[in-house]
Amino acid sequence: MKNVYDIVIIGAGPAGLAAGLYAARAKMKTLILERDKTGGQIVTTNEVANYPGSIQNATGPSLIARMVEQTEEFGAERKKDTVIDVDFTEKIKVIKGEKEEYKAKAVIIANGATPRPIGCPGERELTGKGVSYCATCDADFFTDLEVFVIGGGDSAVEEAMYLTKFARKVTIVHRRDELRAAKSIQDKAFKNEKMNFMWDTVVEEIKGDGIVESVIFKNKKTEETNEYHADEDDGTFGIFPFVGYKPQSDVFKEKIELNESGYVITDADMKTNVAGVFAAGDIRVKSLRQVVTATADGAIAAVTAEKYIENNFEE
């Protein structure tokens, strides 16, 4: 079957790259599609301390660079394209990209999740103008300024710690009175002199004319609101929401089974409810979304896909 890939992998984060490595190593004709930059969320992470074998100060981008190199060595092809539609109804699956259409015997969905917005007025309009979802990318812009980090999970606290290297003052704004982040991460944050905490507080509105100038906070216990204005000399400050992630599964709605939050349902072998379609990484329903679980998913998905092709397609 000319022009038909054995396996097309959608997404080039740790799950997609690991799947690509395993698939290409098994001599499958493999294509990895990536919408934007290779690496997924992990390239926005400064420190990767909990991936087994990570050396001290290992960064997300350096880990991804090594994964890409390894995947390329085994002959996986990579293309930049945004998937806009899929047809999984026939044995040969069709993936429609903005640039091209791709055909495959098996598909591995590994396009992950994106940061969830807070959802308050002003947030969207001021994104890139003081509101940012990537500390590694944007911390530098806030050198010596004030920064608010919204959320109380691992991401919020780790990214807030990273921001203390640049900002004059970093305040974590959390909707409860205790953090969700792992105890070890919390301990470091409480010891950091540049870190401040605003408990039981949510963001009601972000305001500014072309740049963030003020933010309205609301105390959930007292219901009191107050507007915080940028220091006059600074003119602005940063707001970094880290309130969880949303699966990038809109394109798969009604094509494969998703749960009520939009995550792809798979079995332990990464099979979805459609034969020949597999999923791996953060886009799946799972209990731990980490690089180590994403790469494991990718490996399993590739091996299961390979077996599926062997059993369902003649040479």
d(CA 4, CA 298): 21
Count of residues near ligand NAP by CB under 6 A:
19
Looking at beta carbons only, is 167 or 202 nearer to ligand NAP? 202
- What's the burial of 5, exposed, middle or buried (CB within 10 Å: 0-12/13-18/19+)? buried
Q: Please name the residues in contact with 312: beta carbons below 8 A apart, sequence gap of 6 or more.
A: 91, 105, 275, 276
Interaction between residue 244 and ligand NAP (CB under 6 A): yes
Q: Please name the residues in contact with 313: beta carbons below 8 A apart, sequence gap of 6 or more.
A: 105
d(CA 153, CA 115): 13
In the complex, least distance from residue 295 CB atom to ligand NAP, rounded to whole angstroms: 15
Interaction between residue 158 and ligand NAP (CB under 6 A): yes
Interaction between residue 246 and ligand NAP (CB under 6 A): no
In the complex, least distance from residue 243 CB atom to ligand NAP, rounded to whole angstroms: 4
Q: What angle do CA 28, 30, 34 make, to 5 degrees?
A: 160
Q: Where are the alpha helices (DSSP H) in 29-133?
A: 60-73
Catalytic residue numbers read 134, 137-138
Which range, of 30-38, 222-230, 238-246, 304-312, touches ligand NAP by CB under 6 A?
Answer: 238-246
In the complex, least distance from residue 125 CB atom to ligand NAP, rounded to whole angstroms: 18
Q: Which of residues 201-220 bind ligand NAP (CB under 6 A)?
A: 202
Looking at beta carbons only, is 7 or 63 nearer to ligand NAP? 63
List the structure tokens of 85.
């539609």
C-alpha closest to that of 299 among 278, 285, 275: 278
Q: Which of 34, 123, 154, 306 binds ligand NAP (CB under 6 A)?
A: 154
Using CB under 6 A, list all residues that contact ligand NAP: 50, 118, 150-156, 158, 175-176, 180, 202, 242-245, 289
